[in-house]
Chains A and B, each alone.
Chain A
């Protein structure tokens, strides 16, 4: 796109990034509370070292500043597709044997699953609009916890929620970076929320 042309449609409609940042913030808050209740309900220790657990997309990135927009958005999209599968597994494990009767807890997991899939949809739409190649969607279940004991399933679920919370922070900054790099109508990624306290 020649720079003199009008910015992509997405950025003429300030709507696209704005709700995505909102969604990510909401998700972060919900995931953090879900993680807290998850740790409590599974009887785990919040400071448990989860570094050795693999098969979960980790948010940490080296030379994060140098990623291209396409890489950023692509990494994000693949990540949230993967989290959809992992969260479905967690929900299944909780329903089947870890907390079978705790319906409210299951609903809070379900709510996060819905947010993750909404986010994935918005990221995919953004990539299409920005004419980036959308990565292939490999959605086969990782069955990462198959054959694992109850404790390992619990700890793995904790790792999933921990990394998901971490990813929400990264994704917000990825979106800021994308909007910055485009130097276009600055997507009003932030709104002016005024909370007056007296």
Chain B
């Protein structure tokens, strides 16, 4: 049916699984009308007089519905149906990875709503509301500058998620120290130590996001293991950004990671990117045949033997 004309498009929101009745604008209940869904004619079974009735709607019902009034069959009403859900309780998390400058809060919904949601966040500390500067991408994050540091007063963050089908909010409260979590150390490098078959030199840098290493020094946690063993070995270092592993198995490739934490407060960072290295091994000498024969016998007896204390287990790597 050719029914040209421009007509304002209305928006109608409906909750998933409900029945929806669309009115043809202001026409009488018993006026002669026809409806299309995304330009496809809908048969009369969906009509209740001039109203369109959609049962137990799902996401596929979303779309543009147009009503045409007879006998000229001109467009009488156009409506965009959006099927979705009201937001569930949002999940909000706040963290300071650049202490003592400030902290950011980020949030997400536990399940999709399929329609546009808006979020409103309020941050209160010492009975004063503090501005949380929205960051463009990512959309669901904002940043708060510390106006005071070393405060025992709690921060209270309330996040409200809303859409045309409903709203829901979450409130969390926390201490300043509790949310301090640096980013992982950067530029981790592991190298063999020449002429030392059991050593590896590991070095790393402070996370670039950590603003004042001098006054807010970090401590580090190093974990390392040969690829063929599941059990990590750990060492904690209260300063410095390098360490020499002195008990590496000769000739075995190692995987190494580092984590960081403020010396006194907060929690450990995530593990850094893993790096691999194999301790130094002696260059094979170019031997005459007899010497080579003797050498081969000796070589076979000094194959890699796992010290009794080290347990070979398939269990996951247990964090520190």
Q: Given the complex of chains A and B, what is the CA–CA distance between A195 and B265 in angstroms? A: 19
Shortest distance from the beta carbon of A78 to any chain B beta carbon, whole Å: 16
Contact of A62 among B148, B177, B216 (CB under 8 A): B148
Contact of A192 among B214, B238, B263, B264 (CB under 8 A): B238
Task: Verify A59–B150 contact, CB threshold 8 A.
Answer: yes
Q: Is B215 an interface residue (CB 8 A)?
A: yes
Task: Verify A197–B233 contact, CB threshold 8 A.
Answer: yes
Q: Is B236 an interface residue (CB 8 A)?
A: yes
Which residues of chain A in 176-198 are interfacial with respect to chain B, using CB atoms and an 8 Å cutoff? 176-177, 180, 189-198
Q: Which residues of B contact A192 (CB under 8 A)?
A: 237-240
Contact of B264 among A61, A163, A169, A180 (CB under 8 A): A169
Contact of B235 among A49, A176, A180, A197 (CB under 8 A): A197
Which residues of chain B in 216-249 are interfacial with respect to chain A, using CB atoms and an 8 Å cutoff? 216-217, 233-240
Interface of B is mostly: loop
Scoring A59, A60, A172, A177 by chain B CB atoms within 10 A of each residue's CB, the highest score goes to A60
Task: Verify B150–A169 contact, CB threshold 8 A.
Answer: yes
Q: Which residues of A contact B235 (CB under 8 A)?
A: 194-197
Task: Verify B151–A60 contact, CB threshold 8 A.
Answer: yes
Which residues of chain A in 128-164 are interfacial with respect to chain B, using CB atoms and an 8 Å cutoff? 162-163
Number of A-B contacts (CB under 8 A): 80
Q: Given the complex of chains A and B, what is the CA–CA distance between A65 and B263 in angstroms? A: 19
Count the B residues whose beta carbon is within 8 Å of the partner chain — how many?
Answer: 27
Q: Given the complex of chains A and B, what is the CA–CA distance between A25 and B265 in angstroms? A: 11
Shortest distance from the beta carbon of A31 to any chain B beta carbon, whole Å: 12
Task: Verify B150–A172 contact, CB threshold 8 A.
Answer: no
Q: Is A114 an interface residue (CB 8 A)?
A: no
Q: Is B153 an interface residue (CB 8 A)?
A: yes
Q: Is B172 an interface residue (CB 8 A)?
A: no
Task: Verify B216–A60 contact, CB threshold 8 A.
Answer: no
Q: Is A58 an interface residue (CB 8 A)?
A: yes
Q: Would A191 and B150 be within 8 Å (CB), given that A64-B100, A172-B264 are in contact?
A: no
Task: Verify B237–A61 contact, CB threshold 8 A.
Answer: no
Task: Verify B215–A177 contact, CB threshold 8 A.
Answer: yes
Q: Which residues of A contact B60 (CB under 8 A)?
A: none
Task: Verify A172–B263 contact, CB threshold 8 A.
Answer: yes
Task: Verify B152–A50 contact, CB threshold 8 A.
Answer: yes
Q: Which residues of A contact B233 (CB under 8 A)?
A: 197-198
Q: Which residues of B contact A60 (CB under 8 A)?
A: 148-153
Q: Which residues of B contact A166 (CB under 8 A)?
A: 150-152, 177
Q: Is B147 an interface residue (CB 8 A)?
A: yes
Q: Which residues of B contact A59 (CB under 8 A)?
A: 150-152
Q: Which residues of B contact A176 (CB under 8 A)?
A: 214-217
Q: Which residues of A contact B149 (CB under 8 A)?
A: 60-61, 64, 170
Q: Is B26 an interface residue (CB 8 A)?
A: no
In the complex formed, the residue of A with least CB distance to B127 is: A51
In the complex formed, the residue of B with least CB distance to A197 is: B234
Task: Verify B239–A191 contact, CB threshold 8 A.
Answer: yes
Q: Is A28 an interface residue (CB 8 A)?
A: yes
Q: Would A169 and B126 be within 8 Å (CB), given that A51-B153, A60-B148, A64-B100 are in contact?
A: no
Task: Verify B150–A61 contact, CB threshold 8 A.
Answer: yes
Q: Which residues of B contact A28 (CB under 8 A)?
A: 264
Q: 16 new A-B pairs (CB below 8 Å) besides A59-B151, A169-B150, A170-B150? A: A49-B154, A51-B126, A58-B152, A59-B150, A60-B149, A60-B152, A172-B264, A176-B216, A177-B215, A180-B214, A190-B239, A191-B239, A192-B239, A192-B240, A195-B235, A196-B235
Residues of A within 8 A of B (CB): 25, 28, 49-51, 58-62, 64-65, 162-163, 166-170, 172-173, 176-177, 180, 189-198
Q: List 29 A-B contacts (CB under 8 A).
A: A50-B152, A58-B151, A59-B150, A59-B151, A60-B150, A60-B153, A61-B149, A62-B148, A64-B148, A64-B150, A162-B152, A166-B151, A166-B152, A166-B177, A167-B150, A169-B177, A169-B265, A170-B150, A172-B263, A172-B264, A176-B216, A180-B215, A190-B238, A190-B263, A191-B239, A192-B239, A192-B240, A195-B235, A197-B233
